[in-house]
Structure 1
Amino acid sequence: MVTAGNDTEAVGAGVAAAARAGLVARGVIYILVGALALRIALGDGGEQADRGGAVQELAQRPFGQALVWALGIGLVGMALWRLSEVVFGAAGPKGREPGKRLLSAGRFVFYSAVAASVIAFAAGERSSGSGSTDEQSRDVTARVLDWPAGQWLVAAAGVGVGIAGVWIAVQAVRRKYRKNLDPAKRVPPAARRTVDVLGVGGGVSRGLLFAAAGGFAVRAAVAYDPEQAKGLDDTLRSFTSTPVGPWLLGAVAVGLVLFGLFSFTMAWWRRV
């Protein structure tokens, strides 16, 4: 006889599996983007260093089609996990607060769109998952700028993304991710040190990337020029124009790889 308790346990197990698959998929994307960005830093910048470039890179590997399908399914798992947080609340004492649910809703929408594009690519629509984030950013910015108060909306979005980037970096330095570690899984000291290296290095690089992208959006709003907006690839390439040249891009690229590896550790140690 199936009881309510059994049903709850089954749902919990399903959500946990979806979350862990999603974290692995996120890790794969960040590792590939970081590797592509590192190529650019080293002078071999043919591929676009963004999600589209990552999907294309994966598709070119042995069993590439199956790998892209697996990536898309993992991202579906990530979206379903975030949806479960909207409905049931996230793990932790404050997981059911409205702010947490709203943040999870935004993540659900984002990962749903990403999963749909990757699955469309795997199904044969090569213009979907491999689309340039630079073109998408410029197109969206151009449309919004044509709206009433469009400049203000683009500027507000840019400020929001920039603040999010700073927040991500600060939270990483403060090691706030530790509160998400599953207390039921006793993390060995050596593993905890590894998680810290990956979490801090990866989080700071990810935050810097978000902050820079937000800054470009604000500049596009001020100049009323959608060409000033940059997606992931152009934002990464812009780091080569700094006084330290490709060294900054190389450091950020390594950080993105670290964040990908950090996602793998979270797939095992995170409380979901």
Structure 2
Amino acid sequence: MIKHANEHKLKWFARLGYGARGLIYTVIGGLAVMSAIGVGGGTVDSKGAIQKAMQQPLGQTLLVILLIGLLGYVSWRLIQAVKDTDHHGTSIKGVAVRSGLFVSSITHAALAFYTVTLLLPTGSSSGSGSDSAQGFVASTPGQIVLGLVGIAVIGAGLAHIAKGYKSGFMKYMSIPAKQKSWASPLCQFGLMARGVVWLMIGWFLIQSSLKARAGDIAGMGEALNTLARSPYGNWLLGIVALGLFAFGVYSFLEAAWRRIDA
């Protein structure tokens, strides 16, 4: 009975986590869409999306909910990686996928920590940790790690594109038959758009590694800015932004319909 109750709680914790990811990406995509069509908005990364959430009415309450969701997502990703709940196995591909899930737990744990710093009184956080990280990235070992991370991010981007193109997500979802006609293509579009952005971020990381300049490290916001500055920039930014918004909706659909084997 206790085990069943804990599994039930974990499932809802995981669903709240998918919802938190959905909120972050709908904010990123929505702001970028507004920027592309010239009605305000802007290009932000995940941290920028969390900052925007804090600026809304009842922002601190929203951040507390977001923090709980991020912690749920971190826990679920760790369980997916360690317990292999999705049965990826121990083949090279399976280990790669599970490693990606583990890295996802780390990156979202960093977002959760960042959310905590926003909830703390101003000035309570120290910049020494950030300075130390910049110092490591500027070193030779740091540049090697940065390049390897860039390659891994490109691999993750390609995996997202393939997962979207082949509808690989469907085997983990229980989408009602009446909803598949719109939900499936929306999920495909969202996954492929996120994959394109990750390809760009991975390339930025590799370039930073080759140039040995820690200050060149760029994330999602810079990737979207790069699209905006390219030929037909507003069109490209608009398409990718819509895709990121669709990925946010996909995350909400996962919160509702993903099969979670706790």
Question: Normalization by structure 1: what TM-score?
Answer: 0.83
Matched, 1:147 2:140: yes
Summarize the alignment of residues 41-52 of structure 1 with structure 2, pairs less than 5 Å apart.
Answer: 41-43=36-38, 49-52=44-47
Distance 1:140-1:233 versus aligned 2 partners, 3 A rule:
farther
Partner residue, 1:21: 16
Identical-residue share of aligned pairs (%) = 30
CA contact (8 A) 2:14 2:72 kept: yes
TM-superposed CA distance for 1:112, in Å, is 1.7
Q: Which amino acid aligns with 1:62?
A: P
Distance 1:260 1:125 in 2: 30
Partner residue, 1:124: 121
TM-superposed CA distance for 1:32, in Å, is 0.4
Q: How many residues align?
A: 254
CA contact (8 A) 2:47 2:111 kept: no
CA contact (8 A) 1:139 1:226 kept: no
Distance 1:52-1:104 versus aligned 2 partners, 3 A rule:
closer
Q: Which amino acid aligns with 1:71?
A: L
- Secondary structure of 1:230's aligned partner: coil
Please, which runs of 5 or more residues in structure 2 have no aligned partner?
none
Distance 1:236 1:252 in 2: 8
Note the aligned Cα RMSD (angstroms).
Answer: 2.7
Partner residue, 1:3: none
Please, which runs of 5 or more residues in structure 1 have no aligned partner?
1-5
- Secondary structure of 1:56's aligned partner: helix
CA contact (8 A) 2:192 2:243 kept: yes
Summarize the alignment of residues 74-153 of structure 1 with structure 2, pairs less than 5 Å apart.
Answer: 74-90=69-85, 92-94=86-88, 99=95, 101-125=98-122, 143-148=136-141, 150-153=142-145
Q: Which amino acid aligns with 1:215?
A: W
- Secondary structure of 1:80's aligned partner: helix
Distance 1:232 1:27 in 2: 16
- Secondary structure of 1:243's aligned partner: coil
CA contact (8 A) 2:29 2:245 kept: yes
Of stretches 65-74 and 105-114 in structure 1, the one that deviates more from structure 2 is 105-114
